[in-house]
Amino acid sequence: MASIHNLRTFIAALEEAGQLARVRRPVSLVHELADVAATLARSGGGAPLFEAVQGSNWPIFAGGIANQKRAAIALGCAEPEIIDVMARVLEPANGIPPVPVESAVWQANVRTGADADVTQLPLPTHSRGDGGAFITGGVIVSKDPVTGRGNLSYNRMLRTGPRGFGFNVNEWRHVRQFMDSRPDPAAPFPIAVAIGLDPAIMIAAGVRTDEDELTIAGAIRGQGVPVRRGVTVDVDIPAEAEIVIEGLVHPAQTSPEGPLAEFHGYHGELWDSPTVEVTAVCWRDAPIFQTIIPGWYEHIYIGNVLPREPLLRKFVRHINPTANVHIPPYSNGFSAIVQMRRDNPGQPKNLALAAMTAHVNIKNVIVVDEDVNIYDPADVLWALTNRVDWSLDIFTVPGSQGHEMDPTANQRGVHTKIGIDATYKRERREYGSRVSYPPVDLSEYLNQ
């Protein structure tokens, strides 16, 4: 497989692996495109490349990192190595800084000032509860005004006009801290939005770290990401981005922004968010637009699964060195499945306790044996059904700290965590071993 260094080489690698779904039938940007992408993600289909988008000449790609197979392709590793790779690249000492270059592919078409018009961009209105057309798959590139360090993040952007967006940024984000750290916190703050990227950059942008997240993308690829200074803003933008929007955030000029499908599977509320004044729109010839379906698998993979599994695994391996973990994309990053070789009968509960303390979000921990596939929800439900006595094998931690957006928590994020020992208790009753049919390569049996 050729090495991945931009969106195009990623799409080619996905196609080679049977993980791309070319959608040739024209789709509407309003709901239909997201419906198709969400259906593909839910049914284990490929990542869609919408080749005919109504009202636009630009194709749209989605779902690049929506399952284990594609996360492995994006990271250039085998599926069982995903957490090892993420653990390595999250280590600041392994970071590789970006490399400034003179030319960027997006310099092919540059529109500035009044010529910059974002209504020409194919922005989907994703979910039926969404408040309009949003950029959800753009990576925000900014710079710490004090240290000069670069920063990547995701901030949803509601299009409000030809040169205007609403910009969602909560109080914990670096962009918010950068703006507030200046002598005049209300002064315009320069950003660039890079769209259509090497998935290494997409993964890095979901990480919370005090380093420049681009150093993580560099660590994934083993070489620094080429970056080029913006046309109208002084930030270093990935040179192989398909599309770049530059602009100024106006922190004190706020307007209603939202709602949008949230990672927990409901819609967020309407915010009074800072606005963005667009200063330039740039694109490579025949660009591919990219979106993330909000509140769906890729959103969770980038924000909650890949960046968090390494610490979770570290915590449980402190107790059991061969334990494995997965944060499944179908439960908002609030659940963890822990897999272990059971020896000491009390240890599953200790592992559940360890998993709960690794990340504040973790609320439900299910501990299973090595014969249960932690990536298959049906297999986990089988273990819950056949290996749990609900009066003996669970414990709850009422009044513990969770995520403030957990729909079961109070406004401060206080909720009840639960640990479930779904391992086989042979000492209670012996049922022999599980029915098992080893998987075969179906292509050797079908279509012959």
Ligand X SMILES: Cc1cc2nc3c(=O)[nH]c(=O)nc-3n(C[C@H](O)[C@H](O)[C@H](O)COP(=O)(O)O)c2cc1C
Question: By three-state DSSP, how is residue 366 classified?
Answer: strand
CB nearer to ligand X: give 175 or 220. Answer: 175
Binds 335: which of ligand X, Mn ion, none (CB < 5-8 Å by kind): none
Least CB distance to Mn ion at residue 243 (A): 22
Output the CA–CA distances (angstroms, integers) from residue 436 to 232, 292, 379, 425, 427, in the order listed.
61, 37, 12, 19, 22
Q: Which residue is nearest to ligand X (CB)?
A: 303
19 binds Mn ion per the rule CB under 5 A: no
Least CB distance to ligand X at residue 292 (A): 5
173 binds Mn ion per the rule CB under 5 A: no
The span from the CA of 429 to the CA of 35, in Å, is: 47
The span from the CA of 306 to the CA of 85, in Å, is: 10
Going through 149-267 in order, the beta strands assigned E by DSSP cover: 150-153, 157-161, 164-167, 189-195, 226-229, 236-238, 243-257
CB nearer to ligand X: give 59 or 64. Answer: 64
Binding to Mn ion, residues 357-386 (CB under 5 A): none
CB nearer to ligand X: give 106 or 296. Answer: 296
Judged by the rule CB under 6 A, the positions of this chain that interact with ligand X are 136, 151, 153-156, 168-170, 173-175, 206-208, 292, 299, 302-303
Strand order in the sheet with 60-62: 20-23, 47-50, 60-62, 289-291
Output the CA–CA distances (angstroms, integers) from residue 136 to 97, 155, 252, in the order listed.
25, 7, 23
* Cβ atoms 244, 202 nearer than 8 A: no
Least CB distance to ligand X at residue 303 (A): 3
151 binds Mn ion per the rule CB under 5 A: yes
Binds 173: which of ligand X, Mn ion, none (CB < 5-8 Å by kind): ligand X
The region of 118-126, 147-155, 328-336, 392-400 touching Mn ion under the rule CB under 5 A is 147-155
Q: What is the dihedral of CA 379, 380, 384, 385, to 10 degrees?
A: -20
174 binds Mn ion per the rule CB under 5 A: yes
Least CB distance to Mn ion at residue 92 (A): 12
Find the distance separating the first CA and the last CA of the chain, reported in whole Å: 28
DSSP state string for 304-316 = IITTTHHHHHHHH
Least CB distance to Mn ion at residue 191 (A): 13
Least CB distance to ligand X at residue 306 (A): 10
The region of 6-14, 122-130, 173-181, 251-259 touching Mn ion under the rule CB under 5 A is 173-181
The contact set with Mn ion (CB under 5 A) reads 151, 174
